Amino acid sequence: MGVRDNKLFAINNTAVLAGLLLFAASCGLLYQLKLDLNNSVQLLAIHMIWLLLLVWFSRGRHTTKQPVVSPFKDAFHTGLEISTMAEQVLKNQYGLMDGELSQVNNLIHDATEKLSISFHTMEEQSRTQENLVKQLISNVTQKANNDENSKSFTEEISGLVTMFSDNINIMSDGSNKLVHAMNKLDERIATIDRFLNEIDGISEQTNLLALNAAIEAARAGDAGRGFSVVADEVRSLSLRSHGFSRQIRDTFKDAKDSMKTASKIVGTMASRDMSMTLQSQNRITELMQDMDALNEEVADKLASTQTISHRIHTAVVDAVKSLQFADMSSQLIAHVQKRIGAIGLYSVQVESVLDSTVPNNESPETSQIDYTIYKEQVMQLSNVMDETVRNKPVSSQEISEQDVELF
């Protein structure tokens, strides 16, 4: 529009200049023709010619200007409206682009922060877990190395149990044999006692017979003297027999007492074995308690390890979510690029429309142009651009918990 105005302005100025030059030329011509300038009629005629020329040129200028002013004015106003519309559309698009870029920025910022926290947590928990396991191994190893006989815990337990078992078996065996032997001895002693009773009976009867024989011998007088001697010897034998019987009884009594003593000794020995057994049992109990304490410590540490594993798992879940920011961001950025492309195309197309609004002086239809079609064209271009960029890929502003929608 500006270029054409300048052209027209230059043409108009040229016309005025031409008019002035013509006037000057006519004056010169009149001078050459030696016309009497004092002649008022001639003077008036000359002035009239000059005025007519000037008027003609002025009218010509107006005549040429009037067809130019109307379309320019319409074109100018239409151009202004189109510019305003385009500016509004572009502002809107820039606003949307700014929003989308902010969204990308927030996504990246949020994801980076969460990734950082996740990795820090994983590192920290892994270290804690490592220390726990090291402590556990150290405690178990130390426990094994502190044993007095340099035997392992299990070897000692095993040895004690074996010894305990052997002793019990030996004792049991010995006790059985002893009981059996003592029972047999009791039977024998009872038998011998019966035999001794028999012997005592015989001895008493023999003594009686001897007395009777002595009495008969005394009755017989001198004839019975020899018989009396025999009777006395028999009586003596009877007494001796009774004496032996008593000694045998005493001896067996001693034997029985000895057996009792032996029994007592065995009991004492059994008691001592029992004491050793109890000591071993106490030692086993101590060892089992140590093992329980160790197991408890292991269970405790394992529970801690499990808690740590859970924390690590949670950190990994957060990291997996955060890693998806790349996908979401790239989709958003692609959409922004699409929007930029659409804006660029829109700008070129609007400029083309604006160029076509500038009227052409040489065209006879210039004054009849309906400029509203240009506005409609620009509105149509806005709609096309909106259609191009309406599909937005991501709505999330940050990497956060999302619910699973199941149905």
Name the residues that contact other proteins, by CB under 8 A: 317, 320-328, 330-331, 390-396, 399-400, 402-407
Contact between 136 and 305 under an 8 Å Cβ cutoff? The reply is: no
Q: How far is the CB of 91 from other proteins (least distance, A)?
A: 18
Q: How far is the CB of 161 from other proteins (least distance, A)?
A: 46
Euclidean distance between CA atoms 227 and 242, whole angstroms: 22
Q: Which is nearer to other proteins, 53 or 394 (CB)?
A: 394
Residue type, 378: V
Compute the least distance from the CB of residue 12 to other proteins, in Å.
53
Of 128 and 314, nearer to other proteins (C-beta) is: 314
Sign of torsion over alpha carbons 120, 123, 126, 132: negative
Minimum CB separation of residue 108 from other proteins in Å reads: 13
Tell me how far CA of residue 21 lies from CA of 16, 79, 122, in angstroms. Answer: 9, 39, 96
Smallest distance from other proteins to CB 82, Å = 25
Rg (CA), the chain: 72
Asked if residues 237 and 146 have their Cβ atoms less than 8 Å apart, the reply is no
CB of 382 to other proteins, least distance (A): 14
Complex with other proteins: residue 304 or 396, whichever CB lies closer: 396
Tokens of 272: 């001592």
Asked whether 205 and 241 are in contact (CB, 8 A), the reply is no
Taking the least distance from each CB to other proteins, the nearer of 49 and 323 is 323
SS3 sequence, 128-151? HHHHHHHHHHHHHHHHHHCCCCCC
Is the Cβ of residue 3 or residue 404 nearer to other proteins in the bound state? 404
Q: At closest approach, how far in Å is the CB of 330 from other proteins? A: 7
| Cα 217 to Cα 238: distance, rounded to the nearest angstrom | 18
- For the chain, how many residues are written? 407
Closest CB to other proteins among residues 142, 400 = 400
Q: What are phi and psi of 33, to 5 degrees?
A: -75, 0
Q: What is the DSSP letter of 360?
A: P
Do 172 and 337 contact (CB within 8 A), yes or no? no
For residues 231 and 328, which CB has a smaller minimum distance to other proteins in the complex? Answer: 328
Residue carrying structure tokens 């930029």: 340
103 or 357: CB nearest other proteins: 103
Q: Which residues contact 115 (CB under 8 A, 6 or more apart)?
A: 319, 322, 323
Distance CA 290, CA 147 (A): 12
Residue among 32 and 402 whose Cβ is closer to other proteins: 402
Shortest Å, Cβ 335 to other proteins? 8
Round to whole Å and give the CA distance between 37 and 31.
8
Q: Closest distance between other proteins and the C-beta of residue 111, in Å?
A: 8
